[in-house]
């Protein structure tokens, strides 16, 4: 049986990567954190059944994956951005690096097209590199069923990227991205929509959650910017990062007030040096997860 000291070490070593796994499965930072707590609670209670011939990591992934599947059978959580500060690799040599291509918002939106079991098999096989036998064992299904689910998942995702594979655009240099974010922030703080429009990709997509709307194409996004950016000094923005992408935390100041209040987290997708995606979450409660205050003084 796993003793208390060994269990504490397992919790320390695997908590962060298990939280990322739960995020990939669920798309929600809040639920990912809750599920990791539940994983270790279930693991502690069931430690007597742990078989030493299985690795502790495999044991914990089995519990985590099935806990997420239990939730997905009930409902599909709303997608949230994942703070990069929670993606930093841990100090242990076992720490798993989290690549942009497996946590980007485009990837997260794509795998949400998959039914829960296909999603689980795809993440276990193509993201985490478990073998077919290991993935089948984690899910309590046969290898043939696991391989079939993986094939269907890959076919669905190829339809999402017609080129026949998951094709992730290369990022620009960090300096170029920082300069683009600086210009984006400056344009908002000075209420100059034309400066933002100059940064847009022709195929830009603007989405505002929760359930505000989606605008596709430079013309549609430009119209929205021109109608909404009308008062210099209304916005204060802070650069941050989410899902291995540049992001901005936006604070807004109401008329007659001096303080800026947390308003939205904005995640930016850059292609060919321009903004191809602007995903906005008008959820001030997220700021704490990014280590940001809920207000800012002038």
> Which ranges of 78-173 would DSSP assign to H, the alpha helix?
105-111, 116-122, 132-139, 143-160
Q: CB of 100 within 8 A of CB of 171?
A: yes
What b-and-e string marks burial along 122-158, b requiring 16 or more CB atoms within 10 Å of the CB? bbbbbbbebebebbbbbbebeeeebeebbebbbebbe
Strand, coil or helix: 213: strand
Please give the model's pTM, rounded to 2 decimal places: 0.90
Per-residue pLDDT, 51: 63
Phi, psi (rounded to 5 degrees) for 170: -70, 140
Q: CB of 18 within 8 A of CB of 60?
A: yes
Per-residue pLDDT, 171: 52
**Cα–Cα distance list, 282 to 24, 147, 220, 227 (Å):** 21, 40, 20, 18
Q: Return the half-sphere exposure (C-beta side, CA atoms, 13 A cut-off) of residue 212.
A: 13
Pairing of strands 274-281, 260-271: antiparallel
Per-residue pLDDT, 99: 73
**What structural domains does the chain harbor?**
4-160 (1.20.140.160), 174-296 (3.10.450.50)
pLDDT by residue for the chain (298 residues), tens digit each? 677 888 888 889 899 999 999 999 999 999 999 999 999 999 988 877 776 667 889 999 999 999 999 999 999 999 999 999 998 655 444 445 677 788 999 899 999 999 999 999 999 999 999 999 999 999 999 999 999 999 999 999 887 765 434 454 545 558 999 999 999 999 999 999 999 999 999 999 999 998 889 999 999 999 999 987 877 789 999 999 999 999 999 999 988 888 999 999 999 999 989 999 999 999 999 999 999 999 987 6
């Amino acid at each position: 049986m796993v003793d208390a000291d060994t269990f504490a070490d397992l919790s320390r070593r695997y908590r962060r990567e298990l939280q990322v796994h739960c995020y990939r499965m669920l798309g929600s930072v809040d639920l990912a954190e809750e599920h990791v707590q539940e994983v270790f609670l279930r693991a502690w209670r069931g430690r007597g059944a742990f078989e030493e011939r299985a690795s502790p990591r495999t044991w914990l992934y089995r519990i985590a994956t099935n806990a997420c599947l239990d939730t997905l059978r009930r409902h599909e959580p709303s997608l949230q951005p994942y703070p990069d500060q929670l993606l930093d690799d841990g100090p242990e040599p076992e720490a798993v690096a989290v690549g942009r291509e497996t946590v980007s918002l485009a990837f997260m939106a794509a795998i949400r097209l998959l039914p829960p079991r296909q999603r689980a098999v795809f993440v276990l096989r193509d993201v985490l590199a478990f073998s077919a036998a290991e993935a089948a064992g984690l899910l309590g299904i046969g290898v043939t069923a696991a391989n079939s689910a993986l094939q269907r998942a890959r076919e669905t995702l190829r339809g999402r990227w017609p080129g026949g594979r998951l094709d992730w655009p290369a990022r620009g240099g960090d300096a170029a991205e920082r300069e683009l974010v600086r210009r984006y922030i400056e344009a908002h703080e000075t209420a100059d929509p034309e400066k933002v429009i100059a940064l847009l990709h022709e195929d830009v997509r603007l989405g505002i959650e929760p359930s505000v709307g989606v605008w596709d194409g430079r013309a549609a996004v430009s119209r929205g910017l021109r109608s909404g950016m009308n008062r210099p000094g209304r916005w204060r923005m802070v650069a941050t990062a989410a899902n291995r992408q540049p992001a901005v935390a936006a604070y807004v100041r109401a008329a007659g007030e001096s303080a800026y209040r947390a308003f939205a987290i904005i995640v930016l997708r850059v292609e060919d040096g321009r903004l191809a995606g602007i995903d906005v979450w008008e959820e001030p409660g997220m700021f704490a997860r990014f280590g940001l205050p809920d207000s800012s003084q002038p």
